[in-house]
Protein backbone atom coordinates (compact mmCIF):
# COMPACT_ATOMS: atom_id res chain seq x y z
CA UNK A 1 0.00 0.00 0.00
CA UNK A 2 1.12 3.53 -0.64
CA UNK A 3 0.81 5.77 2.36
CA UNK A 4 0.39 9.50 2.71
CA UNK A 5 1.69 11.81 5.46
CA UNK A 6 0.46 11.53 9.04
CA UNK A 7 0.12 7.75 9.17
CA UNK A 8 -1.43 5.86 12.07
CA UNK A 9 -0.15 2.53 13.31
CA UNK A 10 -2.33 -0.53 12.98
CA UNK A 11 -3.13 -1.80 16.48
CA UNK A 12 -1.14 -4.88 17.41
CA UNK A 13 1.43 -4.40 14.66
CA UNK A 14 3.95 -1.57 15.04
CA UNK A 15 5.52 -2.29 11.62
CA UNK A 16 2.43 -1.45 9.54
CA UNK A 17 0.76 1.89 9.16
CA UNK A 18 -2.70 2.79 7.91
CA UNK A 19 -2.58 5.03 4.82
CA UNK A 20 -5.01 7.93 4.69
CA UNK A 21 -7.60 8.59 2.03
CA UNK A 22 -6.24 11.12 -0.49
CA UNK A 23 -8.48 14.10 -1.26
CA UNK A 24 -8.27 15.08 -4.92
CA UNK A 25 -10.55 17.39 -6.88
CA UNK A 26 -11.79 16.16 -10.26
CA UNK A 27 -10.16 12.72 -10.11
CA UNK A 28 -10.64 10.77 -13.37
CA UNK A 29 -11.03 7.07 -12.66
CA UNK A 30 -9.59 4.36 -14.87
CA UNK A 31 -11.91 1.79 -16.40
CA UNK A 32 -9.44 -0.99 -15.49
CA UNK A 33 -9.64 -1.99 -11.85
CA UNK A 34 -7.43 -5.11 -11.83
CA UNK A 35 -9.05 -6.40 -8.63
CA UNK A 36 -12.35 -7.63 -7.25
CA UNK A 37 -13.83 -6.28 -4.00
CA UNK A 38 -15.20 -9.21 -2.00
CA UNK A 39 -16.38 -6.99 0.86
CA UNK A 40 -16.09 -3.47 2.20
CA UNK A 41 -17.01 -2.20 5.65
CA UNK A 42 -16.47 0.74 7.96
CA UNK A 43 -14.60 0.11 11.21
CA UNK A 44 -14.55 3.36 13.22
CA UNK A 45 -12.70 5.88 11.04
CA UNK A 46 -11.22 3.18 8.82
CA UNK A 47 -12.57 1.56 5.69
CA UNK A 48 -11.66 -2.11 5.29
CA UNK A 49 -11.60 -3.85 1.91
CA UNK A 50 -11.25 -7.56 1.28
CA UNK A 51 -10.03 -7.86 -2.30
CA UNK A 52 -8.75 -10.43 -4.78
CA UNK A 53 -6.30 -9.74 -7.61
CA UNK A 54 -4.00 -11.71 -9.87
CA UNK A 55 -0.24 -11.51 -9.44
CA UNK A 56 2.37 -12.98 -7.16
CA UNK A 57 5.63 -11.99 -8.84
CA UNK A 58 5.83 -8.27 -7.99
CA UNK A 59 4.46 -6.10 -5.18
CA UNK A 60 1.13 -4.40 -5.84
CA UNK A 61 0.20 -1.02 -4.36
CA UNK A 62 -3.22 0.46 -3.60
CA UNK A 63 -4.34 4.03 -2.93
CA UNK A 64 -7.76 5.31 -1.91
CA UNK A 65 -8.79 8.60 -3.51
CA UNK A 66 -11.84 10.75 -2.76
CA UNK A 67 -12.80 13.06 -5.64
CA UNK A 68 -14.29 15.55 -3.12
CA UNK A 69 -17.57 15.89 -5.03
CA UNK A 70 -20.78 15.93 -3.00
CA UNK A 71 -24.10 14.67 -4.33
CA UNK A 72 -26.84 16.48 -2.44
CA UNK A 73 -29.07 13.59 -1.43
CA UNK A 74 -30.17 12.04 1.81
CA UNK A 75 -27.62 11.03 2.93
CA UNK A 76 -25.12 13.05 0.92
CA UNK A 77 -22.79 11.00 -1.29
CA UNK A 78 -19.17 11.21 -2.36
CA UNK A 79 -17.00 9.03 -4.61
CA UNK A 80 -14.02 6.94 -3.56
CA UNK A 81 -11.67 5.17 -5.96
CA UNK A 82 -9.43 2.28 -5.03
CA UNK A 83 -6.43 2.72 -7.31
CA UNK A 84 -4.36 -0.37 -8.05
CA UNK A 85 -0.83 -0.43 -9.47
CA UNK A 86 0.33 -3.96 -10.33
CA UNK A 87 3.88 -2.76 -11.18
CA UNK A 88 3.78 -4.79 -14.41
CA UNK A 89 3.09 -8.09 -12.64
CA UNK A 90 1.86 -10.62 -15.22
CA UNK A 91 1.67 -13.62 -12.89
CA UNK A 92 -1.71 -15.27 -12.48
CA UNK A 93 -1.77 -16.46 -8.85
CA UNK A 94 -4.95 -15.44 -7.04
CA UNK A 95 -3.96 -13.08 -4.23
CA UNK A 96 -6.38 -12.21 -1.42
CA UNK A 97 -5.70 -9.12 0.66
CA UNK A 98 -7.25 -6.98 3.33
CA UNK A 99 -6.67 -3.27 2.79
CA UNK A 100 -7.30 -0.68 5.49
CA UNK A 101 -7.46 3.08 4.93
CA UNK A 102 -7.99 5.90 7.43
CA UNK A 103 -10.95 7.98 6.18
CA UNK A 104 -10.94 10.58 8.98
CA UNK A 105 -10.26 13.31 6.37
CA UNK A 106 -13.80 12.82 5.04
CA UNK A 107 -15.00 14.68 8.16
CA UNK A 108 -13.69 17.83 6.45
CA UNK A 109 -16.49 17.54 3.87
CA UNK A 110 -18.82 18.73 6.65
CA UNK A 111 -21.62 16.14 6.37
CA UNK A 112 -22.75 13.26 8.57
CA UNK A 113 -23.51 10.55 7.56
CA UNK A 114 -21.92 10.22 4.12
CA UNK A 115 -22.69 7.48 1.60
CA UNK A 116 -19.38 6.39 0.05
CA UNK A 117 -19.67 5.24 -3.56
CA UNK A 118 -16.62 3.07 -4.23
CA UNK A 119 -15.57 2.78 -7.88
CA UNK A 120 -19.28 3.22 -8.74
CA UNK A 121 -19.71 -0.48 -7.84
CA UNK A 122 -20.01 -0.66 -4.04
CA UNK A 123 -21.53 1.64 -1.44
CA UNK A 124 -21.11 1.90 2.32
CA UNK A 125 -22.44 4.41 4.84
CA UNK A 126 -19.85 6.33 6.93
CA UNK A 127 -21.31 7.68 10.15
CA UNK A 128 -18.83 10.08 11.70
CA UNK A 129 -18.46 9.66 15.42
pLDDT at 59: 94
pLDDT at 37: 93
Q: Which residues contact 59 (CB under 8 A, 6 or more apart)?
A: 87
pLDDT at 3: 32
Mean pLDDT to the nearest integer, 61-80 = 93
Q: What is the pLDDT of residues 26-38, one digit of tens each?
A: 666 666 678 999 9
pLDDT at 33: 74
Q: What is the CATH number of domain 8-126?
A: 2.60.40.3220
pTM for the model: 0.82
Amino acid sequence: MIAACNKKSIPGNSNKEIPKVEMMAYYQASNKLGYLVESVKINGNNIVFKIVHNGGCKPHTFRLICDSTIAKSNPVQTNLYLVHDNNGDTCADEIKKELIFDITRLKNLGFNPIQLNIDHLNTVLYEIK
